[in-house]
Chain A
Amino acid sequence: MNRRKFLGVSVLAVAAIPATLSALSSIDFRATKPDAWKAKTVEDAIKALYGDIKPEESGVTVKAPKVASNGGAVPVTIKSDIDAKTVAVFQNMDPESAVAVFNVPENGIVDYFLKMKLKATDANGGNGVITAIAEGKDGKFYKGTVALQVAKGGCEG
């Protein structure tokens, strides 16, 4: 059993699910790649997660409203037709960049929706960007981005 699998199994065990080894084990990227979650820029987070990659600027679509009025819950959709192993989502508005790292299961489809908490963009000149990277099973990386403005921050709380 390698380290990745072992960590996956231990997550399942914690989750009190019978730890049967199915075709795909759960991967806890917070445990396997701790630095990716502490990185304060998208570049550093990508480097900590995937290493020094040069993603193709295609193959991944990220959708978000151009102007989000409520930074507490910004709807974001990530889609890709790439046969992906993992998909990671980052943004440049909050203190740290990482938002999610998906481990794409065998019969999974890369069509993910989630709501994010984002800080108002006036702090960085209105240049809010959400970046998604897909790690293809072909060993290549693919990237998609969307620009947005966030009127009211969601992290002030």
Chain B
Amino acid sequence: MGNMKIKAKVKGDVVGVKVLAKHDMLTYDQAKAKGKEANFITHITAKVGDKIVYDVSTSQFWSKNPQFKFKFKKDGFKDGDKIAITWTDLSGKTVTEDKKIKGL
């Protein structure tokens, strides 16, 4: 744990999610300058149970330690449900962390 900070909270009919992921997001140019291999998050998926609620393919131009927010309708979800966020990076590393959704 500790790779992501996740906040998920219901407001009205909508679940709002805020995430801070820990990743260098090293672009090809930055990697070249530092003599390292480029590596950045290439995909982020969020699920509640087996239902996908956020799915994005990403480029090297997300900031270092990327911060992102998204919303989805709360229909069909119940108290105690957790949101699980998974990222995959260029090196193939995958990290998943989850958090209980507040206010369902």
Interface of A toward B, CB cutoff 8 Å: 11-12, 14-18, 20, 22-30, 37, 72-74, 91, 94-96, 98-109, 111-118, 154-155, 157
Residues of B within 8 A of A95 (CB): 28-29
| Contact, CB under 8 Å: B50 / A114 | no
Report the Cα distance A117→B64, complex, angstroms: 8
- Tell me if B68 and A108 are in contact (CB < 8 A): no
Determine if B70 and A100 form an interchain contact, defined as CB atoms under 8 angstroms apart.
no
Contact of A109 among B51, B64, B71, B84 (CB under 8 A): B71
CB distance from B33 to the nearest CB of A (A): 6
The binding surface of chain B is classed by DSSP as strand
B59 CB contact (under 8 Å) in A15, A23, A37, A74: A37
**Within 8 Å CB of B102, what residues of A?**
none
Which interface class (under 10, 10 to 19, 20 to 34, 35 or more) fits B? Answer: 35 or more
Judge whether A27 and B57 touch: CB under 8 Å: yes
A117, B25: Cβ atoms under 8 Å? Answer: yes
Cα separation A117 to B60 with both chains bound (whole Å):
8
State which of B30, B34, B66, B70 has its C-beta within 8 Å of the C-beta of A155. Answer: B30
Q: How far is it, in angstroms, between the C-alpha of A123 and the C-alpha of B70 when the chains are bound?
A: 32
Judged by DSSP, the binding face of A is loop
Interface presence of B3 (CB below 8 A) = no
Supposing A15-B88, A22-B50 touch, asked if A101 and B61 sit within 8 A by C-beta, the answer is: no
19 extra interface residue pairs, beta carbon distance < 8 Å, beyond A18-B50, A98-B59, A100-B58: A14-B94, A22-B52, A26-B45, A27-B55, A72-B64, A73-B64, A74-B63, A95-B29, A103-B55, A103-B57, A105-B55, A108-B71, A108-B72, A112-B69, A114-B62, A117-B25, A117-B63, A155-B27, A155-B61
Please state if B45 and A114 are interface contacts (CB–CB under 8 Å). no
